[in-house]
Amino acid sequence: MATTLITKLADGTLDVPDQVAIPFVIGDGIGPDIWRASVRVFDAAVEKAYKGKRKIHWKEVLAGEKAFQETGEWLPAETLASFREHLVGIKGPLTTPIGGGIRSLNVAIRKALDLYVCQRPTRWFKGVPSPVKHPEQVDMVIFRENTEDIYTGIEFPAESPEGKRVREFLTRDMAIDFDFTDDTAIGIKTVSEQGSKRLIRAAIEHAILHGLPSVTLVHKGNIMKYTEGAFKSWGYDLAETEFSGTTYTWRQWERKKAAAGEQAANEEMATAEAGGSVIVKDVIADNFLQQILLNPKDYSVIATLNLNGDYISDALAAIVGGIGIAPGANINYQTGHAVFEATHGTAPRFADTDTMNPSSVILSGVMLFEYIGWDEAAKLIVAALQQTILDGTVTVDFFNQMTDGKLLKTSEFGSAIIDKIKSGFDRSIYK
């Protein structure tokens, strides 16, 4: 049967054929175990939801250790070409090669496809052990900028001639008043207007599309004024221009307060909220890490810079059950390219043990299904996963924190979810 490709249409939507080919990288370490469990769940959900009318034809592409063993290359050009051609792909975790000029295979893939959004939804499933009292109050989607910030790798070791030159340039040419001792290493933080705006645009569009109440810009602009402070200002500028009428910003509230007093400002914001406007607000990153513990229900969509996003997504994942259940995606909303992946790494100690939690990959697949508009398959998986956890049948990461769980292997956990999908259980209680 001829399979066809996903294409992005001029109106920005995706054209997804019923018989669709999707490339996958099996991944290193625990990757093969959790992929094998997950792909069976994906296929069962598609079969149940569409009764043979739709099907995914998984196409393996190589990266990481398997690629190196088979081709001598860590990231063969055909793999990138395949992700480029098919638009949408999914990958397992990859070992970062030591030496050889590749900083990280994941970063190389993100760079090659300019996947500027790292999107990480964080929600709690009933029954998952959590260190907080009310994990159900966490329901956020993080939009982490993926291409800029201190993460670009522009850095100079303390002892290098380049490090010395940069220090001299800053002292002599830029008259920077700082005591650069000879043992000072330097890293460069880059934050651009277009890079910030395209990330924040995707976050606001997500909130509007899904009827979510707010977008919070998380930054350290109080200290890093021209980078993180600018991220905040550009975000407000964008909301007030491109999304005028569909958003209401805290900056607009401030302006109204200055002009007409606090009560008038509150009334204006309440009217905007009642009219369905997305509230765009900002929080300083360190305060935000308190807020997610103290007042998580006040936050919905989060737009933040690369480093903040890295910390925040791990902290949020810990609240809702840890990285065994934390999915993610790297997306370019302009070209449509998207690579879905669990947020954790290869956990090499547990390779081939059939013990780790495949939920991270299963929920990354749910994101993939939602992205291509196969919502019925996505909902089936979420409901079946939820019911499996509620039954107390879990992998070791959850089992160790439960008093009355039943321990399942990775493959058994996948099978338990598939049994639920096939059984047609009542899933009306799940959203």
Sign, CA dihedral 288-292-293-296, equals positive
The answer to whether 109 contacts ligand NAD (rule: CB under 6 A) is no
**Taking the complex as a whole, how short is the minimal distance between the CB of residue 111 and ligand NAD, in angstroms?**
14
> Quick one: which of 75, 141, 230, 323 contacts ligand NAD (CB under 6 A)?
323
| Under 8 Å between Cβ of 20 and 2 | no
Distance, CA of 350 to CA of 262 (rounded, Å): 57
Min separation Cβ 238 and ligand NAD, Å: 29
Q: Which of 38, 346, 364, 393 binds ligand NAD (CB under 6 A)?
A: 346
Residues sharing a CB contact under 8 Å with residue 357, sequence separation 6 or more, in sequence order: 34, 324, 325, 394, 395, 396, 397, 398, 410, 413
| Cβ closest to ligand NAD, residue 30 vs residue 279 | 30
Determine which residue in the list 163, 221, 324, 405 makes contact with ligand NAD, applying CB under 6 A: 324
Q: CB nearer to ligand NAD: give 249 or 313.
A: 313
Query: What are the residues whose beta carbons fall under 8 Å from the beta carbon of 402, sequence distance 6 or more?
Result: 129, 392, 394
Q: Can you give the length of the chain in residues?
A: 431
Q: Which residue is nearest to ligand NAD (CB)?
A: 345
The rounded Cα 114 to chain-centroid distance in angstroms is: 15
Instruction: Tell which residue, 363, 409, 351, 431, has the closest CA to residue 66.
Output: 351
Q: Which of 357, 364, 386, 387 binds ligand NAD (CB under 6 A)?
A: 357
Query: Does residue 347 bind ligand NAD (CB under 6 A)?
Result: yes
When asked if residue 129 is in the footprint of ligand NAD (CB under 6 A), the reply is no
By C-beta, is 344 or 420 nearer to ligand NAD?
A: 344
Nearer to ligand NAD, 119 or 357 (CB): 357
Q: Does 300 bind ligand NAD (CB under 6 A)?
A: no
CB 204 within 8 A of CB 270: no
Asked if 356 touches ligand NAD (CB under 6 A), the answer is yes
| DSSP class of 169 | I
Structure tokens at 67: 């690629």
Contacts (CB under 6 A) with ligand NAD, residues 175-234: none
Neighbours of 352 (CB within 10 A): 9
- Is 360 a binding residue for ligand NAD by CB under 6 A? The answer is yes
Q: Which of 180, 345, 392, 411 is close enough to bind ligand NAD by CB under 6 A?
A: 345
Which lies closer to ligand NAD via its Cβ, residue 356 or residue 383? 356
- Answer yes or no whether residue 341 interacts with ligand NAD by CB under 6 A: yes
Site for ligand NAD in 77-96 (CB under 6 A): 93-96
Provide the mask over 15-44, with x wherever binding to ligand NAD is found by CB under 6 A and - wherever it is not. ---------------x---x----------
Min dist CB 66 to ligand NAD, Å, is 13
Residue type at position 316: L
The separation between the first and the last C-alpha atoms of the chain, rounded to the nearest angstrom, is 35
**CB of 422 within 8 A of CB of 388?**
no
Find the shortest distance in angstroms from Cβ 345 to ligand NAD: 2
282 binds ligand NAD (CB under 6 A): no
Closer Cβ to ligand NAD, 153 or 276, answer by number? 153
Question: By CB under 6 A, is residue 397 in contact with ligand NAD?
Answer: yes
DSSP codes joined into one string, 325-369: G---EEE-TTT--EEEE-SS---GGGTTSS-S-THHHHHHHHHHH
Cβ nearer to ligand NAD, comparing 109 with 138: 109
Task: Compute the distance between CA of residue 38 and CA of residue 415 in angstroms, rounded to an integer.
Answer: 9
Instruction: Quote the Cα angle for 73-78-80, to 5°.
Output: 95
Task: Give the residue numbers marked as catalytic.
Answer: 151, 220, 286, 310
Examine residue 317 and tell whether it contacts ligand NAD (CB under 6 A).
Answer: no
User: How far is the C-alpha of 326 from the C-alpha of 363, rounded, in Å?
Assistant: 8
Give the footprint of ligand NAD on this chain (CB under 6 A): 30, 34, 93-96, 106, 323-324, 341, 344-349, 356-357, 360, 397
